[in-house]
Amino acid sequence: MAEKETQKTYRMHLMICAGTGCVSNHSYEVKEALEKELRKHGLENEVVVVPTGCNGFCERGPILVVQPGNIFYQQLSVKDVPHLVEEHFLKGRPVAKLMYSPPETKQPVPVLNDIPFFNKQVLIALRNRGLIDPEKIEESIAHDGYKAMVKALSEMKPEKIIAEITLSGLRGRGGAGFPTGLKWQLVRNAMSTNGGQKYIVCNGDEGDPGAFMDRSILEADPHSVIEGMVIGAKAIGATAGFIYVRNEYPLAVERLSIALKQARDYGLLGQDILGTGFDFDIQIKRGAGAFVCGEETALIASIEGRLGEPRPRPPYPAQSGLWGKPTCINNVETWANVPTIINRGAKWYAGIGTKTSKGTKVFSLVGKINNTGLVEVPMGITLREIIYDIGGGIPGGKAFKAVQTGGPSGGCIPKEKIDLPIDYESLSEAGSMMGSGGMVIMDEDTCMVDVARYFLTFTQDESCGKCTPCREGTKAMLEILTKITEGKGTPEDLTLLEDLAPAIKDTALCGLGKTAPNPVLTTLRYFRNEYETHIQNKKCPAHVCRPLNVYTIDPGLCLSQGHGCDVCRRNCSSEAIAGQKNEAHAIFQDKCIKCGVCYDVCAFGAVKVD
Amino acid sequence: MNEQRVSEILTRYQGDSSSIIAILQDIQEDFSYLPPPVLKIISHELGIPLSRILSLATFYKAFSLKPKGKHRIHVCLGTACHVRGAQRIIEKFERDLGIKSGETSADREFSLDAVRCIGCCGLAPVVMIGEDVHGKVTQTKIPGLLKKYKK
């Protein structure tokens, strides 16, 4: 029965995004409505609706791409469905009003590849996004899934696989950028001296806030990761593997479980894979909500059922990992790159990118940007191209201030460096790092002192407490930053921060602590004036640090423009606003909790903040 | 009653003590928290000291030793949500529910927790209630959201 269904041919495929973003924008309701409407017109044997993984353009969800033709529809709702089915799928007239129109031209762009968000992207890790149903292995296979694995298992010696990965220049996509081929070689060599069991691990504990590429890959194309891991297993000689997935990603766990079962059923995993005599299987391990478990030694401890605390290295997992055996740990995106390198060759891959950073990188473009979403771009692209060409610039005509990369371990890069070509080295020279690929855009309304305080709150909270510099040092830095954002800072505080930061960097046990001061150091380096304004003038220029804000209502504007509309008073949760309809309103400063809701709801600009 | 539910979960993992984290996750899901009597049963069955189980239960954020509400509210405090005002969102929930983050309302309808990024950054600020993801949340939408789940 299932076989029959997959063999059925349709004249049209409606690829609806079923990534987490679109699902929360009701894409499943749109899918059901489409199926119902297609049946109503007797089209169910001609047109099929296919749920896919994340399309990337999350800002515009729910997204539907019609094949053939690559026609892109966006922000669909159930009520758009009858018109769309009748016009496009029955009569063949694509519906312009449901297409994307760039804000500059206001002209609908029918074809996906012509949309600026997509046309500068180069897809390797995300090669199957929007093209396959992640819950059907047949669709993955139809798009060259497992082809590289067949080649690696039947035609290539382990040395040849490692040589190919080394030559490609692939580096770890989890953040640190360690050369993948070299890591594989180390684990392979470790086997020849120790013998016995070895392990492959996929690190899917994507903890950096603001990054969701690993989630997207696992949800959209789980087979690409499984295939990469089998190739890695052959190269290093492992027979067992684990995928460690964050607890917060239930959909990724579900899709991976389905994918693993299907791969086993097809003989692509398990004993004697495809009759080549090679055995390898994979288990899923769910994380339990601890950021530090993204660190490889903590992750290993967590898989073994222990507290996720890091330990000093060496020995590195390549020598002594899971249960003391040589273990090769790579991140989700790294594994997803492997099959394409084997298929298309190391030379091809190394032709993309810069001298030291080859291939592409997936970034999640989020924060104060028009086109939020997931993008895969060649290394060496400039920040300007990402922010303005792909991202469509800053919303509401606001000024771009900085971009934060590398999560809590990274830093803020100021607007002066917008023409920086992105690779591992250029980002660390700027004081930040590649990290897992979160790219949070900040505009003039973002306070950089608050951002530094935010990241320290994060690292302080997530510090496992094992080593003193991280446990106590991040706490001390956080206390100073909190003081500054409350208007109680002194000029000496900045000196103290500058003393503490390198001390923590040099002495903390693991990556979490060693990099925790980075957000403070980069904001001090590029935005020192903001710190000084908080300390000297007791003001937050971006009006983010609330203890420093004072909200008032301009009585003239309130009455002349809004006729005392009373919306602010009705939304105030602390009864701090006086007035009634047709009267000018006013704020009792002693009752105001500075939540800012009055400022947000006033349609007449009568509420002021200073 | 408890014994039966626990033994079902233990059978799933064939009494493998290295699966302790997964076992605790299933218990958390089933009971909405880790009841101390249940932890004692597990400690006995798997031969793991109770102190070690409690250290896991308090280290990992997915676990709670107190019962959670019928509707679990998770307010995302990831970076993208933070720069789009998530702190004000969680404070509004705290005021409207009369509880602090990490607590459960007296009627056990809601519990409120902060979460570090749920990977829906495109929709920031994001709130998860149960399994439902709500994007682009504003302070003014919160009373309506709570009302919807309460009935």
Per residue in A111-169, pLDDT tens?
Answer: 999 999 999 999 999 999 989 999 999 999 999 999 999 999 999 999 999 999 999 99
Q: Quick check: A364 and B124 CB within 8 A?
A: no
Residue B10 lies in a domain: yes
- Taking the CA atoms of residue B107, residue B108, residue B114 and residue B118 in that order, the dihedral angle to the nearest 10 degrees is -130
- pLDDT cut 90: percent of chain A above it: 89
Which two structure tokens, joined as six digits, stand for A441? 């855009």
Q: Which residues of B touch A464 (CB under 8 A)?
A: 59
Domain end, chosen from B11, B37, B59, is at: B59
Q: Which of B59, B91, B108 is the last residue of a domain?
A: B59
Q: How far is CA A607 from CA A554, A572, A587, in A?
A: 6, 13, 9
Spatial contact of A158 and A237, defined as CB atoms under 8 Å apart = yes
- The verdict on B18 and B80 lying in the same domain is no
Residue among A178, A542, A499 at smallest CA distance from A328: A178
Q: Tell me the backbone φ, ψ of residue A65, rounded to 5 degrees.
A: -115, 125
Between chains, do A58 and B122 touch, taking CB under 8 Å as contact?
A: yes
Task: Please tell me the predicted confidence (pLDDT) of residue A460.
Answer: 94
Residue B76 and residue B146 in one domain: yes
By Cβ distance, the residue of A291, A305, A464 closest to B21 is A305
Q: Do B60 and A289 touch (CB under 8 A)?
A: yes
Residue B66 forms part of a structural domain: no
Contact B83 A440 (CB under 8 A): yes
Dihedral sign for Cα A19, A22, A24, A29, please. negative
For the domain spanning A360-443, the CATH number is 3.10.20.600
Q: What is the DSSP letter of A406?
A: S
**B64 within a domain of the structure (yes/no):** no
- d(CA A283, nearest CA chain B) in Å: 12
| pLDDT, tens digit (0-9, with 9 covering 90-100), for B98-141 | 999 999 999 999 999 999 888 888 889 999 998 888 999 999 99
Backbone dihedral angles phi then psi of residue A44, each to the nearest 5 degrees: -65, -20
Residue B99 falls inside a structural domain: yes
Write down the pLDDT at residue A8.
79
What mean pLDDT value characterizes chain A? 94
Residues of chain A with Cβ-Cβ distance to B134 below 8 Å are: 24
Which one-letter DSSP state was computed for residue A332?
Answer: H
Do residues B47 and B23 share a domain? Answer: yes
Q: Residue A194's pLDDT band (boundaries 50, 70, 90)?
A: low
pLDDT of residue A4: 47
Chain centroid to CA A493:
34
Asked whether residue B113 is domain-assigned, the answer is yes
Class of domain A137-349: alpha beta
| pTM for this entry | 0.92
Superfamily grouping for domain A10-112: Glutaredoxin (3.40.30.10)
* Residue partners of B19: CB distance under 8 A and separation at least 6: A305, B13
pLDDT tens for each residue of A584-605: 999 999 999 999 999 999 999 9
Whether pLDDT at A191 is above 70:
no
The 8-class DSSP code of residue A385 comes to I
Place of tokens 């028009």: A370
CB-CB under 8 Å, A20 with B133: yes
Same domain, residue pair B141 and B90: yes
What confidence score (pLDDT) does residue B1 get? 63
Binary contact (A209, B116; C-beta < 8 A): yes
Q: Domain A550-609 classified CATH 3.90.25.10?
A: no
Distances (CA, A) of A313 to A181, A473, A505, B24: 20, 21, 16, 29
Q: Which residues contact B77 (CB under 8 A, 6 or more apart)?
A: A209, B86, B87, B90, B114, B115, B116, B117
Question: Nearest to residue B86, comparing CAs of B99, B96, B74?
Answer: B74
Q: What is the pLDDT of residues A236-284, one digit of tens each?
A: 999 999 999 998 888 899 999 999 999 999 999 999 999 999 999 999 9
Residues 6+ apart with CB under 8 A from A25: A61, A62, B123, B135
Q: Pick from A463, A461, A457, A473: which is nearest to A512 by CA?
A: A463
What is the least distance, in Å, from the CA of A48 to any CA of chain B? Answer: 27
Q: Give mean pLDDT, residues A5-19.
A: 85
User: A91: burial class by Cβ within 10 Å (0-12, 13-18, 19+)?
Assistant: exposed
Residues sharing a CB contact under 8 Å with residue A107, sequence separation 6 or more, in sequence order: A101
- Residue A268 DSSP class: S
For A250, nearest residue in chain B (alpha carbons): B131
How far is A475 from A482, CA to CA, in rounded Å?
Answer: 10
Which residue is closest to A448 within chain B, CA to CA? B83
Which chain B residues are closer than 8 Å to A291 by Cβ?
116
The sheet carrying B132-134 orders its strands as B110-115, B71-76, B127-129, B132-134
Phi and psi torsions of A122, nearest 5°: -125, 115
What's the gap in Å between the CA of A41 and the closest CA on chain B? Answer: 32
Mark whether B95 and B131 lie in a shared domain.
yes
CA distance B50 to B73: 30
Count up the domains in chain B and report the number. Answer: 2
If asked whether residues B95 and B142 sit together in one domain, one would say yes
Pick the CATH number of A448-537 from 1.20.1440.230, 3.30.2270.10, 3.40.50.300, 1.20.840.10: 1.20.1440.230
**Nearest partner of A224 among A329, A153, A128, judged by Cα:** A128
Using CB atoms, pick whichever of B60, B80, B123 lies closest to residue A288: B60
Residue A193: predicted pLDDT: 57
Q: What is the pLDDT of residue A105?
A: 86
Interface contact flag, B115 A248, Cβ < 8 Å: yes
Number of CB pairs, chain A paired with chain B, less than 8 A apart:
152
pLDDT band at residue A1, thresholds of 50, 70 and 90?
very low
Q: Which residue has the tokens 């302790």?
A: B20
Q: What angle do CA A307, A298, A329 make, to 5 degrees?
A: 140
Do B69 and B105 contact (CB within 8 A), yes or no?
yes
Give the DSSP letter of residue A399: P
- Put simply, the answer to whether A289 touches B117 (Cβ < 8 Å) is no
Average pLDDT over residues A31-37: 97
Q: Residue B35's CB: how many other CB atoms inside 10 A?
A: 16
Domain co-membership, B129 together with B79: yes
Note if the bond before A62 is cis, omega within 30 degrees.
yes
Q: Do the Cβ atoms of B117 and A210 come within 8 Å?
A: yes
B16 and B42 co-located in one domain: yes
* Other beta carbons within 10 Å of A21: 32
Cα–Cα distances in angstroms (integers) from residue A139 to residues A45, A66, A72, A143, A313, in the given order: 18, 16, 21, 6, 42
Percent of chain A whose predicted confidence (pLDDT) is above 70: 98
B145 falls within a domain: yes
Q: Phi, psi at residue A604, to the nearest 5°?
A: -115, 5
Please tell me the distance from the alpha carbon of residue A230 to that of residue A338, in angstroms, as a whole number. 10
A436-486 residue pLDDT tens: 899 999 999 999 999 999 999 999 999 999 999 999 999 999 999 999 999
Residue-number span of the structural domain to which B144 is assigned: 71-150
Question: Which tens digit of pLDDT belongs to each residue from A304-363?
Answer: 999 999 999 999 999 999 999 999 999 999 999 999 999 999 999 999 999 999 999 999
Mutate to test the interface with B, among A208, A248, A398, A544 (most CBs of B within 10 A): A248
pLDDT digits (tens, 9 = 90+) for B12-36: 998 888 899 999 999 998 998 999 9
Is pLDDT of A192 > 60? no
Output the CA–CA distances (angstroms, integers) from residue A516 to A211, A429, A435, A469, A475, in the order listed: 17, 17, 13, 10, 11
B75 and B29 share a domain?
no
Alpha carbon separation from A150 to A126, A162, A278 (Å, rounded): 21, 16, 11
Cross-chain Cβ contact A25/B19 below 8 Å = no
CB A432 within 8 A of CB A452: no
Domain limits, CATH 1.20.1440.230, in chain A: 448-537
Q: Which residues of chain B make contact with A573, given a CB cutoff of 8 A?
A: 92, 95-96
* Closest by Cβ to A21, choosing from B96, B123, B139: B123
Interstrand relation of A327-331 and A199-204 (parallel, antiparallel or unpaired): parallel
Do B120 and A212 count as a contact with CB atoms less than 8 A apart? yes
What is the DSSP annotation of chain B? -HHHHHHHHHHHTTT-GGGHHHHHHHHHHHHSS--HHHHHHHHHHHT--HHHHHHHHHHSTT--SSPPPSEEEEEE-SHHHHHTTHHHHHHHHHHHHT--TT-B-TTSSEEEEEES--S-GGG-S-EEETTEEE-S--GGGHHHHHHHHH-
Please report where in the chains the tokens 């423009």 appear, as a residue.
Answer: A561
Which residues, in sequence order, are bridge partners of residue A608? Answer: A552
Contact call for residues A335 and A316 (beta carbons, < 8 A): no
Q: Classify residue A171 by its DSSP letter.
A: B
State the distance between the two ends of chain B, measured CA to CA, in whole angstroms. 29
Strands A240-245 and A199-204: parallel
Which among A248, A250, A595 is the nearest to B92, CB-wise?
A595
For residue A3, the model assigns a pLDDT of 46
Say whether both B44 and B90 belong to one domain: no
Cβ-based contacts of B92 with chain A (< 8 Å)? 573, 595, 597
Give the per-residue pLDDT at A2: 46
Least reliable range by pLDDT among A369-373, A419-423, A541-545, B130-134? B130-134
Cβ contact (<8 Å) for B118 and A248? yes
Q: Return the closest-CA partner of residue A475 out of A168, A467, A552.
A: A467
- What does the DSSP 8-state code read for residue A88? I
How many other β-carbons are positioned within 10 Å of the β-carbon of residue A349? 24
* pLDDT bucket at A103, cuts 50 / 70 / 90: confident
Chain A closest-CA separation from residue B105 CA (Å): 19
- Rounded Cα distance between A280 and A257, Å, is 16
CATH of the domain at B116: 3.40.30.10
Task: Please tell me whether residues B43 and B113 are part of one structural domain.
Answer: no
pLDDT at B71: 94
Cross-chain residue pair A305–B96, CB shorter than 8 Å: no
Select from A155, A144, A157 the least CA-distant residue to A188.
A157
Q: Which of B59, B85, B101 is the last residue of a domain?
A: B59
Q: What is the pLDDT of residue B125?
A: 95
Chain A positions touching B22 (Cβ under 8 A) are 285-286
